[in-house]
Amino acid sequence: MALAKLVVDLPSGTWIGEVSTAHPDAVFRVLAAMPADDTGVGLLEITAREMRSVLTAVEEHEGIDAVELLQASDTEALVQFETSQPLLLMAVRNSMVPLELPLKIVAGQADLELTAAQSRLSELTTQLAEFGMSYEVEYLRQSPTSTELLTGRQRTLLGEAVKRGYYDTPRGCTLTELADALGLAKSTVSERLHRIEEKVMKEFAAGLDGVGLDAAP
């Protein structure tokens, strides 16, 4: 399983690409989307300083078949739209990669965060190229399974610790009680749990933006 973030350049001629490029200060978030044949229906949240100008651009673009303003303020709006240019949705659909929402679009670029098999991600990049969309890979990480991350003995120990409430707040059992239940020395359980926690926390931190494991404290 791979975790990836692609920054996709939306091609000229697409309504969302052109409108967002013409209004670079506006932020478009696709909250829901459903491709159907050659059309797409979606729910879009817009944040912009010049909201009326942005909404007018959306309504008047030839790529929009229908649009309904659900709610609006001076700087925020929620719209439902139907488009004949759902190129990004079609690329995602054809590659059978689950689309993680919300999808953020700013100044003609879409931030596409994905969790999928490597083969599916490869197919997605092929689909993007076929629909005329270039992209940059911001990150690509392999996500190990629990079997790969921890040994069998470590998984058993962690399972017992969780089951007996060692990680509850407040604790359901002490380290001494956990060690006694497992028939192990307290120092042994402490060391093994520390190794487990080190592996799990480093793997978790590696998936967080802005967390540098080798940065000086």
Strands 27-36, 39-47: pairing kind: antiparallel
pLDDT score recorded for residue 217: 42
- Inter-CA distances, 118 with 64, 124, 139, 152, Å: 34, 10, 13, 26
pLDDT score recorded for residue 205: 64
| Contacts with 175 (C-beta within 8 Å, 6 or more apart), sequence order | 166, 186, 189, 190, 193
pLDDT score recorded for residue 215: 44
pLDDT digits (tens), the chain, 217 positions = 678 899 999 988 899 999 999 999 999 999 999 887 778 899 999 999 999 999 999 999 999 999 999 999 999 999 999 998 889 989 998 999 888 899 999 999 999 998 888 888 899 999 999 999 999 998 887 665 545 678 888 889 999 999 999 988 888 999 999 999 999 999 999 999 998 888 877 766 655 544 444 444 4
Q: Is 213 exposed, middle or buried (0-12, 13-18, 19+ CB in 10 A)?
A: exposed
pLDDT score recorded for residue 206: 58
Listed residue (6, 14, 71, 79) closest to 41, CA to CA: 79
pLDDT score recorded for residue 147: 53
DSSP category for residue 100:
P
pLDDT score recorded for residue 208: 52
Sheet holding 103-106, edge to edge: 64-72, 76-83, 39-47, 27-36, 103-106, 109-116, 2-9, 134-142
Structure-token pair, residue 170: 């407040």
Whether domain 146-206 has CATH 3.40.50: the reply is no
Domains of the chain, residue spans: 2-142, 146-206
pLDDT score recorded for residue 148: 60
